[in-house]
């Protein structure tokens, strides 16, 4: 029933987007993206984000997993991240919130380098990916992570999502 409700919500969202002449699978610059934060992603002393909140395992992943934040579905996202934390045996702390425009504005080597695309999954119709340029050195990816941490600022605690 839970997934039916979220897909029904996505259908309503999509119809609303079409009425405003927007494609529902297009991530607009004003869209807000969230990334789940788990053990090791947040400094407990001051609540700031660590770089590894936005780093990938380049042998397994090609993109950072995020979700488009749709206001009435905070509880859905909290539930989704809690399930992911239980599956991975880690603690869920909250989310980092980024504007799609800020992500797209990240420049490396004089050019914008990050793409944000909708990538719905069966369990999360609001899922999206931030694609990173392939085959770069480690310092390049650390610099991108540093810039994404700046875009996100402080994290939003799990308790605030309910």
Sign of the CA dihedral 62, 132, 40, 2? negative
**d(C-alpha 123, C-alpha 85), whole Å:** 15
Mode of pairing for the β-strands spanning 92-99 and 107-108: unpaired
Mean pLDDT of the chain: 83
Highest mean pLDDT among 7-11, 109-113, 114-118: 114-118
**d(C-alpha 90, C-alpha 88), whole Å:** 6
pLDDT at 117 over 70: yes
Any idea which residue has 């990240």 for tokens? 106
pLDDT band for 58, please (50, 70, 90 cuts).
low
Q: What is the pTM of this model?
A: 0.80
> Which pLDDT does position 23 carry in this prediction?
61
Beta bridge partners of 64: 130
């Amino acid at each position: 029933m839970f997934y039916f409700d979220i897909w029904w919500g996505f259908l309503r969202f999509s119809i609303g987007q079409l009425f405003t002449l927007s494609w529902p699978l297009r991530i607009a610059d004003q869209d807000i993206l969230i990334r789940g934060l788990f053990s090791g992603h947040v400094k407990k002393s001051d609540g700031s984000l660590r770089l590894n909140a936005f780093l990938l395992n380049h042998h397994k992943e090609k993109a950072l997993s995020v979700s488009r934040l749709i206001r009435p579905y905070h509880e859905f996202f909290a539930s989704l991240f809690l399930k992911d934390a239980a599956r991975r045996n880690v603690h869920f702390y909250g989310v980092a919130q980024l504007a799609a425009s800020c992500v797209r504005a990240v420049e490396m080597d004089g050019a914008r380098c990050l793409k944000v695309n909708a990538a719905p999954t069966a369990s999360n119709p609001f899922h999206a990916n931030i694609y990173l340029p392939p085959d770069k050195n480690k310092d390049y990816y650390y610099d991108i992570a540093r810039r994404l941490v700046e875009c996100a600022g402080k994290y939003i605690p799990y308790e605030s999502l309910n």
